[in-house]
Amino acid sequence: MKLSAFGRKFTADAGITSLMDDLGNAMASGEDMIMMGGGNPGHIPEVQQRVQEILAEMATDENQVRRLVGIYDPPQGEKQFIASLADLLNEEYGWGLKPENIALTNGSQAAFFMLFNMFGGEYGNGQRKHILLPLAPEYIGYADAGIDQDLFHAVQPDISFTDAHEFKYRVDFDAVEVTGETGAICVSRPTNPTGNVITDEELARLEGMAREHDIPLIVDGAYGTPFPSLLFVDAKPTWNEQIILCLSLSKLGLPAARTGIVIASEPVIKALSGINAIMNLATGSFGAMLAEPLVKSGEILSLSREVICPFYKAKMERAVEAFRVAMGEDSCRWYIHKPEGAMFLWLWFPDLPISSLELYQRLKERGVLVVSGHYFFPGLPDDDWKHRHECLRVTYSQDDEQVANGLRIIADEVKAVWAEQ
Ligand code: PLP
């Protein structure tokens, strides 16, 4: 089969495809794996119950069913959901949104593909622009989303120690450089894989840099604010026309509904809707219709703050405690990134004699599936920064007992690696 440059790029071995294959194969192997690798949200009974109630109500209403499955939405997305969301956010935060500031996509992953290629890549006259990721590590799902090669430029973080076994990444503003070749800046907040939440001050400085260069700041709020609020520190919900805020219904508990939400200036939404029409004709209505009653009543915010956030915070605390106990007073060096949000522990084992990929393989053999940290540095030049081969991402969204077991096995294996020296 002969393929175009596009075909070759998107069938080449991409980090995310090999990772998804590996996770999928491990899951299908039928062995009793402890799954701490993926990004699947946990099952929260209160959320599940509200979804069931709304579905049951919709199923008995002929009009609703017709809207749900029998009508193409416009390329911008389901109108009623968009109108209710604009009203809710204006009421809550005074953002002054019109429906023309919001578009829906089939998952926020699809929005990132469109946005990155809208602002990064060839501009004509030989000019190429990149997407700046000011704080590596960053979400692996960005890595291969560029039609052009080498779309991303990432920046190493500042590392500060916040406790005997805890550290935090911060944006190294001395190293962040926005130039005429920067098409947009992008950060996930909270960050997948680290659970870091860039501070309000960091966000404001990045916005200032974007404004100065007349480029957008893309904020990936898949885990963030205003919803689903997997946030354990304060983070101010922020939007203005410089910012493209990408939200999602996935981590609220609806990943299969594939609903992404983009909030941006009108020209950005218009352009995005045009691309969406070409790629998808229309965005699916299901997630939007399912969530609309929660948006109209404001329940999406109260559920996020009062149910979803505490659910993940408690899981995070149990996971941290399990790992601290399992590592005990062992003398090998280990750190957890300050867990400020999302659903991951980011573990760092400085000077570990084997790479994180080898550790991942050894853990897989012991029935624990995690993700090697080296995947999460898209856009960072290959250099000898060994930190990127010393970290693991561990998901704690699933059953607490399983997660604690998995963490005990990780601690045991790390100690075994050191004991072999
Ligand atoms: N952004 C981040 C940081 C993520 O972790 C994910 C999925 O895990 C996404 C975006 C994409 O999510 P979805 O396409 O389900 O909205």
The closest residue, in CA terms, to atom 8 on ligand 1 is 39
pLDDT category at 15 given cuts 50, 70, 90 is low
pLDDT per position as a tens digit, 240-249: 999 999 999 9
Kindly list the domain boundaries of the chain, sorted by start residue: 5-43+303-419, 72-298
Report CA-CA distances (Å) from 388 to 54, 60, 345.
45, 53, 15
> Buried b vs exposed e over 225-241: b needs ≥16 C-beta within 10 Å?
bbbbbbbbeebebbbee
Report the pocket of ligand 1 as residue ranges, CB < 6 Å: 39, 107-109, 139, 141, 188, 192, 220, 222, 248, 250, 255, 260
| Domain 5-43+303-419 CATH (choose: 3.90.180.10, 3.90.1150.10, 3.40.50.2300, 3.40.50.300) | 3.90.1150.10
The helix/strand/coil state of 347 is strand
Helix axis angle for 62-69 and 45-59, nearest 10°, is 110
Cα-based angle 364, 369, 371 (whole degrees, multiple of 5):
105
**What predicted TM-score, i.e. pTM, was given to this entire model?**
0.96
The helix/strand/coil state of 273 is helix
| Top CATH class, 72-298 | alpha beta
pLDDT per position as a tens digit, 264-317: 999 999 999 999 999 999 999 999 999 999 999 999 999 999 999 999 999 999
CA of 17 to the centre of ligand 1 (A): 15
- Summarize the confidence of residues 348-367 as an average pLDDT: 96
User: Is residue 267 reached through a cis peptide bond, with omega within 30 degrees of 0 on the bond before it?
Assistant: no
pLDDT per position as a tens digit, 97-152: 999 999 999 999 999 999 999 999 999 989 999 999 999 999 999 998 999 989 99
pLDDT category at 30 given cuts 50, 70, 90 is low
pLDDT category at 22 given cuts 50, 70, 90 is confident
Among 189, 244, 250, which is best to mutate for testing ligand 1, by the most ligand atoms less than 8 A from CB? 250
ipTM: 0.99
Report whether 27 contacts 33 (CB < 8 A): yes
Helix axis angle for 62-69 and 286-296, nearest 10°, is 130
Q: Given the CA of residue 260, which atom of ligand 1 is nearest to it? A: 16
What pLDDT, on a 0 to 100 scale, did the predictor assign at position 185? 98
Position 19 pLDDT exceeds 80:
no
